[in-house]
Amino acid sequence: MIEISNVSKTYGTGSNAVHALKDVNLTIPKGTIHGVIGLSGAGKSTLIRCVNLLERPSTGSVSVDGQEMTRLSRGELNRARHRIGMIFQHFNLLTTRTVFDNVALPLELMGEDRRAIKDRVIPLLELVGLSDKAKQYPAQLSGGQKQRVAIARALASKPNVLLCDEATSALDPQTTSSILELLREINHQLGITILLITHEMEVVKSICHRVSLISDGELVEDAEVGDFFTAPNTQLGREFLNDFLQLTPPKELIERLSETPSEHTHPVVRLTFSGDAVSTPLISRLARKCSVDVSILQAKVESIQDRTLGLMIAELLGSPAQTQEAMAYLEAHQLQVEVLGHVQRNV
Ligand SMILES: Nc1ncnc2c1ncn2[C@@H]1O[C@H](COP(=O)(O)OP(=O)(O)OP(=O)(O)O)[C@@H](O)[C@H]1O
């Protein structure tokens, strides 16, 4: 269990001060995989580095498995860090050491003898699928293999928590899925709590149980992954979702959209529906009930863990009163209706 309470972090002072984290509160239950997503510079790395105190919070506290990290002496902190593994975007392997010796490094630093080191490293290399690479050097490995070595090294000291700092950002999509699969197995088999930061919604969708969205140092959303993907609470959350789903109106249409409606325009809407609404023929019912025509511009259905999410961009064709009634009808049936703008009727 990781508990981040009222954590703020400011780099620099006076006019140079950067408020990287602002009063962040977050609880990550034991054995879960938690994703933190946000734009570049939002504070993701700072947040994850505050967990093992690579960055010390300016205010607030961080506790891992009940141990208050901010109160530990240097020696206690070193010991506590053995229980918190970390992997990085660029792997951070020692190029002059073999794969075996990279994984062995934390155990050597803990003063383990050669026999104990061998007994620990060999099964770890098996776990990450690199038994045949023990004597090779990092330069002889692919990116995915290097990250596997880094994962084995992070697990060497039997941590309860694994921190992943953009661990798949330098990898191609296929290698990314194999590393995510490995992380899922580690979480499942060893019960390790995983906190990962990423700017990729695909990573969150693939393996996380919960997700937090961080914006300009503030935690603005914290939700089950299924809830976040079906109904984000913030505009930024919706933008992440729309980018991920690549559901944006055609460029020619965007250029014709005006913000304000008039007698001669009709609305263009983005509809998001989940649960029962996905399998209900709401659009044909809508056309009958409210006497509007629906011109579908884009549509898709996505599976997010155990949920199904339907998305559609459509023009609602009818009088202002009819299209208003249509939108109210859709909202009453649990669809999220976002008006993207209004276009001239006769164009
Ligand atoms: N050591 C530092 N000294 C001064 N400012 C810093 C330092 N580290 C980070 N910052 C600033 O803090 C803010 C948050 O940075 P952080 O690296 O945590 O964001 P991020 O979300 O991880 O970004 P990215 O996805 O680009 O890595 C940024 O404005 C950044 O410039």
pLDDT, tens digit, for every residue of 317-336? 988 889 999 999 999 988 88
Distance CA 265, CA 345 (A): 5
Tens digits of residue pLDDT in 11-54? 999 999 999 999 999 999 999 999 999 999 999 999 999 999 99
Among the listed ranges 78-82, 168-172, 308-312, 325-329, which one has the minimum average pLDDT value?
308-312
How many of the other CB atoms lie within 10 Å of CB of 304?
18
Assign 346 a pLDDT band (cuts: 50, 70, 90): low
Domain architecture of the chain: domains with CATH? 2-240 (3.40.50.300), 247-344 (3.30.70.260)
Name the pTM for this structure. 0.85
Distance CA 173, CA 177 (A): 6
Q: Is the CB of 180 under 6 A from ligand 1?
A: no
> Nearest residue CA, atom 5 of ligand 1?
11
For tokens 């981040």, the residue is: 4
CB 87 within 8 A of CB 150: yes
User: When comparing pLDDT for 262 and 209, which is higher?
Assistant: 209
Q: Is the CB of 40 under 6 A from ligand 1?
A: yes
Q: Coil, strand or helix: which one is 172?
A: coil
Assign 308 a pLDDT band (cuts: 50, 70, 90): confident
Candidates 9, 10, 11: which one to mutate for ligand 1, based on the most atoms within 8 Å of Cβ?
Answer: 11
Query: Which ipTM value was assigned to this complex?
Result: 0.97
Intra-chain end-to-end CA distance of the chain, in Å: 58
CB 195 within 8 A of CB 163: yes
Q: Coil, strand or helix: which one is 140?
A: helix
Residue 132 neighbours by CB under 8 Å, 6+ apart: none
| DSSP sequence for 60-79 | EEEEETTEEGGG--HHHHHH
Ligand 1 mean position to 139 CA, how many Å?
29
Candidates 44, 55, 216: which one to mutate for ligand 1, based on the most atoms within 8 Å of Cβ?
Answer: 44
Nearest atom within ligand 1 for CA of residue 42: 21
